Structure formats: C-alpha cells, structure tokens
Amino acid sequence: MKRFFDIKFLLIAFTLYLCCGVATYGQKKPAYVIFNAKGKKVSYRHMLRKLSKEDIILFGELHNNPISHWLQLELAQDLHPLKPLILGAEMFERDNHEVLSDYLAGNINDKALDSLARLWPNYETDYQPLVEFAKSNEIPFVATNIPRRYASLVYQKGFEGLDSLPAQEKEWIAPLPIAYDAELPGYKSMLDMVEGHDGENLPKAQAIKDATMGHFILESYEPGQLFFHLNGSYHSDNYEGILWYLRQQQPALRYATISTVSQEEVKRLENEHKKKADFIIVVPENMTKTY
C-alpha cells in the first residue's frame, strides 16, 4: 500500500512539474511588453490608470501590427467606463467625416461606407472593430487627417500650393498659414533621407498632416472628455508631430503618447526607443503582420 501511494505521489509531482514547465515555457513567449519612457517595465493596468487621467491620448501604431490594433480596442473598451470617450484616427480623412458620422448614426450601411469613404485596405481587420465599438456605444469618431491629395500638393508645391484652394476645401485642413518648425528632429531626419534630391517639401507634407490632425482633435475635444486618437507612431514619436501642434495651441491640456516598436528581444527596451513616448509597447520582430 505504501508503495502504491509513493507511486501516486510521484505521478502527481511529475504532472505538476510538466504543467509548471509548460506554463513557464509559455511565459517566455510574450506577445508584447510595456515600458515607460525611462525603459522600466509597467503593467497594462498601470498604463490604463495613468491614461484615464489624461485629456488627449495619441496612440502611435505600427500600421500592420496586430498587437497595436488589439490593444487599441482593449484600451478603448477599458477607458470607456472611466471617462466620456471620443475617438479619432489618421486613417479617416476629413472630407469623409460626414460619411463616417452617417454610418455611426445608422443612416448608411457598411457597404455605403466602403463605397463613399476612402477606407484603408486593412480597414476590416484593423480598424472596423474599433468603429463598430464606437457605433454600438454611441461614441463619436472623428476623421482627423488631411485629404491625401492636399498633402501631395504640399509635397509638390510647398504650403503655398494650398493658398489657391476653394474656401470649402480649406475647411478640411488646418487653418492657413501653417506653423512650421523645420528644426524639429523628426522633420530634419526626413530631409536627411532625401539628401541630394528635391525633397525639401517632404517634411512639410508630413507637417500639414500633423497640423490638420492636431486641429481637428482640438476642435472636437470638450473639457471632461478623453480624446483617444490613432495614428502612425511617426506622427507622435519623441513628443513631436501632432503633439507639437497640440501644445502650440492648448499647452494646458494633459497629453499622453504611446509608441509601438518591434525588437528581436522584448524583455528589455533598447536605448534608441527610450523617451519615444510616455508608454512604449514592444512587440517581437517576427510578429505576424496584418498585411
């Protein structure tokens, strides 16, 4: 009988060992790790608590990264009960704002939205879940980005190319003239990338996007709300881009930025990514892409 219990004990112990081993092995494959600006690991709950105290959040994504999009939805769902929420995104251009609003109000269906708005190719997988969340919870969703044809116009002719636009079309961009600081590191690095080419308007085309998104974020924001904005990380990394324009106009508001980066090793934040944002989400380099 004693031998039977000894064998039974060994079997239980071995089973527990296997279970613990599997669990431990699984934990060595995290899909993401969150760090603060200084490179210290923080929990999702800590980030959520901090973000709920802000006025405007800029979530910098990697456009084809599923973790970015999943966490955007998770954050929106978790922030919604804590503070009145308003959503906005680079992925919707300002001249499509009324179409988006009509869809949210139930005036048009998803097929009409697809035909009338210039939806990104990855809309269904990456942005539709957040739009549907906004629709089902009657949360405003703001189209903030400049129509791309006007950004192309700036790239071709500089800011001066916008002067001749009809008054109605100027309503879809930030008010002219556009403030512009060519010495901001992000814009200077763009010039470095096109050194030797006629690319002096490239950072201006980026700036008109940043200025327009900042303008419509502030135009839509109301005190007591939390504006949760989606944009490519390069539009808010290093506290530049959209955030620079926001602070020029409303320096007293509370802002928070999030950046998404990819690394081979996710357990430690590489030095080049420190201070990119208030929270940096690190995902593995081999993470599957949505496109």
β-pair partners for 263? 284
Which residues make Cβ contacts (< 8 Å) with residue 126, sequence separation at least 6? 63, 66, 69, 120, 290
Residues 119-164: tens digit of each pLDDT? 999 999 999 999 999 999 999 999 999 999 999 999 999 999 999 9
Round to whole Å and give the CA distance between 189 and 241: 13
**The pLDDT value given to residue 8:** 46
**Model pTM greater than 0.85?**
yes
Percentage of residues in the chain with pLDDT exceeding 90?
87
Q: How confident is the model at residue 193 (pLDDT cuts 50, 70, 90)?
A: confident
Task: Name the residue ranges covered by the structural domains of the chain.
Answer: 1-30, 31-284
43, 34 Cβ separation under 8 angstroms: yes
Round to whole Å and give the CA distance between 122 and 127: 7
Q: What's the rounded mean pLDDT across residues 183-201? A: 82
Is pLDDT at 4 greater than 60 in this prediction? no
Q: SS3 sequence, 29-96?
A: CCCCEEEECCCCEECHHHHHHHHCCCCEEEEEECCCCHHHHHHHHHHHHHHCCCCCEEEEEEEEEHHH
Is pLDDT at 18 greater than 70 in this prediction? no
Residues 36-91: tens digit of each pLDDT? 999 999 999 999 999 999 999 999 999 999 999 999 999 999 999 999 999 999 99
**The pLDDT value given to residue 27:** 58
Q: How confident is the model at residue 28 (pLDDT cuts 50, 70, 90)?
A: confident
CATH class of 31-284: alpha beta
